[in-house]
Structure 1
Amino acid sequence: MSEKKSKAIRSILFIFPYPSGTAASQRFRFEQYLDFLPENGLQYQLAPFMDEETWKILYKPGNTWKKIKGIGKGFLRRIGLLFSVHKYDFVFIHREATPVGPPFIEWIIAKVFRKRIIFDFDDAIWLPNTSENNSIIAGIKWHQKTKSICQWAWKISAGNKYLADFAKSSRKADKSEEKSVIVNPTTIDTKNLHNRLKEQNTDSFVIGWTGTHSTIGYLESLLPVLKKLEEDYSFTFLVISDRKPDFNLKSLQYIPWTKATEANDLLRMNVGVMPLRDDQWSRGKCGFKALQYMSLGIPALASPVGVNADIIQHGTDGFLCSEPQEWIDCIKLLIHDVELRTTMGFIARQKIDKIYSVTGNQNNFICLFQTQN
C-alpha cells in the first residue's frame, strides 16, 4: 500500500451561514476547494445555518416573522449539530456559527469538545454593518464575538493582511500563535467558471460594476464621473446586481445577477470599476470585484483602499483612482485605446492565474488542515 493510501482519512465539519452554492463569500472562500479535499485524505460534511426558504427572503423588506422563524430553525439545527461534533477532526467555521447572539456554539466546540477550529473570515465583521432591511437584529448581532473566536481558533484563515493583523492582535502575543494566522485570499476558478478572456472591440464601450444591494452605495461617488463622461462619450454603464439602482444616468443598463449567467454577463464589460470609501470596513474587503474582472481579462479601475492596492499594479494591469479627475482620465484613456485594454486584460489574467486562482492557491488552502507546520 502506498504512503498516501495508508494515511488515515481525516474529517472536516464546515459550518457557515447560508445554503451551499448561494453566497459569493462561501463559494469563493471554501466551496470551490471541496473537490480537492478527498485526494488529500480529507472527507467533509456541510452544515449551513440557514435554509433555502429563509435565504430567499433574508435581504428583502418585510417578512419579519418568516425571518425570525427561519433564524429560530437555524439555531435548532446548530444545537442538534453539537451531538455530532465529536466525530470530526477539524471544524471549519466561515464567519460565524450563528448570525446573532454570543458565540456559544463556537465556545462549546472549542472548550467542551476541544476541537481544532479553523476560523475563516473575509470582511471586517467585528464592525457593525447591518443592512437597514435587517435593522431588527442590529442590536443583537454581537459583532465583538469575532475577537473571541479568533482567540479560541486553532488556525485562522484571513482574506487579507488587514484582517490577519486583527486576528493576530486578538490572540496571544507569541510567535506560535502568530504563525497560526494564514492569509488565504479570496480566489477565482479560472478553469471551470472564469475561463475566458474578454475580446475588446471598437464599436461599443461598456463600463461595468457587479455586486449586491449592500455594496451598491459605493457607486454614488462615481455618479459625477459618469455624468461628466456622458457629456462627451457614448457608452453603457452596466450594473449587475440583485437590485436595480435608482440612478439618474442615461448610460445605465441593469441586469439582474444570476449564478448561471455570471461569467457571460461580466464579459459584456470592457472595463470594470470598484469604487470604495476609505474606512475600516472597506479596508477589510478582499477585492473580489477586481479579481472577477481581471480573471476575465477585463481591466479593473478601483479605489486604492486596502487590498486593492496589492491586487492592481497601477498602469500595468489596471488603474488605481482616488480623485474624480483620475477616474475620468483613466476611463478616457481606455475608451480610446483598445490595444491598451487588451494588453492590460491579458496581464491581469496572468496575475490571477498565478496568485488568486483556485489552482494557484490550492496548497495554501489545504495547509489549513495540516497538523504539522
Structure 2
Amino acid sequence: MITVLCLHIATKQASYRYRVGAFLPYWKEYGVEMHAVSIVGKNYIDKVRLALLAGKYDYVWLQRKPLAPFLVNMIARRSRLIYDFDDALYTRQSTHVGKLKDKHPGSPAYISRINHLLGKSSLVFGGSTVLCEYAQGYAPPERVFLVPTALERPPLVEPLFREPGKVTVGWIGSNGNLPFLRLIDKAVYEVQRKFPDVRFSVMCGKSPEGLQAQWEFVPWSPETELQWLESIDIGIMPLENDEWSRGKCAFKLLQYMSHGKPVIASAVGENLTAVEHGHTGFLARSEGEWQSGFEKLLIDGKMRRTMGAAGYARFLSIYERGVVQSQIARLLGSN
C-alpha cells in the first residue's frame, strides 16, 4: 500500500473538490492510502509538525498552496514531494487590480516560493499544458506530468428549467471570472437581437453587471449545479489571451462536456486541447467568430446533439474521474 499525506487548500474551493476530494473515497481501490489535511489557517508550528511527519509517508502531496522554502526543504528531505497546481500562480490574475502583496500570485515572493517548490518536487502534476511547460523550467521534464482536473460521470438529474423549443446558452463560474463575459458582450447582444427566444443563463455567486446583453441569473449552489448543467443546450468559456488565462485548465468546458453539451470557447491555453474545433464545439478568436459559433449551433439542433455526444465521449476517455485517478496511481507506483 502506497501511503500519501495530502496537504490541501480549503475544502470549499473547487480546486480541492475536483483535484483532491473527488479521489478520496476511491484511493484504496488503487492500492493507495491517503491522509488528507487542510493547511489553511494552520500556524507555523502546526506546519512544522506536519513537515516532520513526512517521513512516515511514501509521498507528501502539496496541493496548490506553496509553503515556505524551509518547510519544503524539511518535507523533501524526509519523503518524496508532489506538487499539484491548476492555475498560473507565477503571474498576476487577469482580474487582479492594484499592488500585488507577497501572498498574491504573481508577486516576486510568491514566484520565488513556486520555483523553489518545483525544484524540490519528485513529481509535479500540472493541470494544463502551459503549467507543465512552466514547471519544466524548474523541475526535470521527466518529473512533470499533465494531470487534468477530473469529474465524476454525472448522474441522471431533472433539468432545472426546460422549455420545449427554447435553446439555452449557459456560463458557469466564480464571481471573479464574471468580467470575461464582457469579451463577448457585443456578440451575445447581436445574437439576442437576431434570436430573441434564446435564453442566456449564468450560474454564479452574483449577477453580471454592466453588460449590454441580458443574462438570466441563477444563484450557484451545490444542490442545483448539476440540474443547471443539464438544462443548458450550449456551454461557453470566454477568456482573455493573457498569461493567467493561458494557464487555466478548461474546467468549465469539462463540466459542459460531461453533460453532453456542445461548447464555444476562446482559442486560449488548454481550451485548444479540450475542444476539437468543428467536432465537439467551436474555438473563437474574435467576436465575429463567437457570433458565428452561436448562430451555427442555435440554428442546427442536429449539430448540437452530434457535437454534444462527441464532447461527452471525449470527456469519458480523458477527463472522467476514474481515468485520471488511474493515471495518478500509475505515476505513484512507478516513482
Task: Using structure 2 for the length normalisation, give the TM-score.
Answer: 0.90
Report what 1:124 is aligned to. 88
Secondary structure of 2:195's partner?
coil
Measure how far apart 1:31 and its partner are.
2.1
Q: CA separation in 1, counterparts of 2:202 and 2:48?
A: 40
Contact 2:172 2:203 in 1 (8 A): yes
Measure how far apart 1:336 and its partner are.
1.3
Q: Are 2:118 and 1:156 equivalent residues in the alignment? A: no
Alignment of structure 1 residues 127-276 onto 2, 5 Å? 127-129=91-93, 138-141=101-104, 142-144=109-111, 145-171=113-139, 177-190=140-153, 193=154, 203-234=165-196, 235-249=198-212, 251-276=214-239
Report what 1:12 is aligned to. 4
Secondary structure of 1:305's partner?
coil
Contact 1:294 1:345 in 2 (8 A): yes
Q: CA separation in 1, counterparts of 2:31 and 2:215?
A: 49
Contact 1:97 1:105 in 2 (8 A): no
Q: CA separation in 2, counterparts of 1:244 and 1:95?
A: 28
User: What stretches of structure 2 of length at least 5 have no aligned partner?
Assistant: none
Q: Are 2:286 and 1:294 equivalent residues in the alignment? A: no
The percentage of counterpart residues that share the same residue type is: 27
Alignment of structure 1 residues 300-311 onto 2, 5 Å? 300-311=263-274
Structure 2 residue corresponding to 1:32, chosen from 22, 27, 48: 22
Q: CA separation in 2, counterparts of 1:323 and 1:250?
A: 17
Q: CA separation in 2, counterparts of 1:197 and 1:351?
A: 23
* Aligned CA distance change for structure 1 residues 104 and 359 (closer, same or farther; 3 Å): same
Aligned length: 328
After superposition, the CA RMSD in angstroms is 2.4
Measure how far apart 1:287 and its partner are.
0.5
Alignment of structure 1 residues 325-336 onto 2, 5 Å? 325-336=288-299
Contact 2:157 2:227 in 1 (8 A): no
Q: CA separation in 2, counterparts of 1:324 and 1:126?
A: 29
Q: What is the CA deviation profile of residues 231-279 of structure 1, one whole-angstrom value per residue up to 9, with x for unaligned ones?
A: 2212222111122221445631111111122111112211111011111
AA in 2 matched with 1:296: H
AA in 2 matched with 1:168: Q
Q: What is the CA deviation profile of residues 28-80 of structure 1, one whole-angstrom value per residue up to 9, with x for unaligned ones?
A: 22321222311232212111123xxxxxxxxxxxxxxxxxxxx4x55454234
Report what 1:104 is aligned to. 70
Secondary structure of 1:30's partner?
helix
Q: CA separation in 2, counterparts of 1:85 and 1:131?
A: 36
Contact 2:88 2:247 in 1 (8 A): yes
Q: Are 2:306 and 1:343 equivalent residues in the alignment? A: yes
Secondary structure of 2:90's partner?
coil
Q: CA separation in 1, counterparts of 2:80 and 2:191?
A: 54
Secondary structure of 1:366's partner?
helix
Q: What is the CA deviation profile of residues 332-351 of structure 1, one whole-angstrom value per residue up to 9, with x for unaligned ones?
A: 11111111111111111011
My pick for the range that moved more, 178-187 or 138-147, is: 138-147
Contact 2:95 2:179 in 1 (8 A): no
* Aligned CA distance change for structure 1 residues 155 and 221 (closer, same or farther; 3 Å): same
* Aligned CA distance change for structure 1 residues 163 and 280 (closer, same or farther; 3 Å): same
Measure how far apart 1:89 and its partner are.
1.7
Measure how far apart 1:201 and its partner are.
7.2
AA in 2 matched with 1:96: K
Contact 1:200 1:342 in 2 (8 A): no
AA in 2 matched with 1:147: N
* Aligned CA distance change for structure 1 residues 226 and 287 (closer, same or farther; 3 Å): same
* Aligned CA distance change for structure 1 residues 136 and 115 (closer, same or farther; 3 Å): farther
Secondary structure of 2:37's partner?
strand
AA in 2 matched with 1:116: R
Report what 2:53 is aligned to. 84
User: What stretches of structure 1 of length at least 5 have no aligned partner?
Assistant: 1-8, 51-70, 172-176
* Aligned CA distance change for structure 1 residues 267 and 317 (closer, same or farther; 3 Å): same
Measure how far apart 1:368 and its partner are.
3.1
Q: CA separation in 2, counterparts of 1:230 and 1:153?
A: 50
Q: What is the CA deviation profile of residues 76-115 of structure 1, one whole-angstrom value per residue up to 9, with x for unaligned ones?
A: 54234234333222100111255xxx4432222113xx21
My pick for the range that moved more, 145-154 or 196-205, is: 196-205
Contact 1:118 1:368 in 2 (8 A): no
Secondary structure of 2:10's partner?
coil
Runs of 4+ in 1 over 6 A off after TM superposition: 196-201
Q: CA separation in 2, counterparts of 1:214 and 1:10?
A: 38
Q: CA separation in 2, counterparts of 1:321 and 1:132?
A: 24
Contact 1:110 1:152 in 2 (8 A): yes
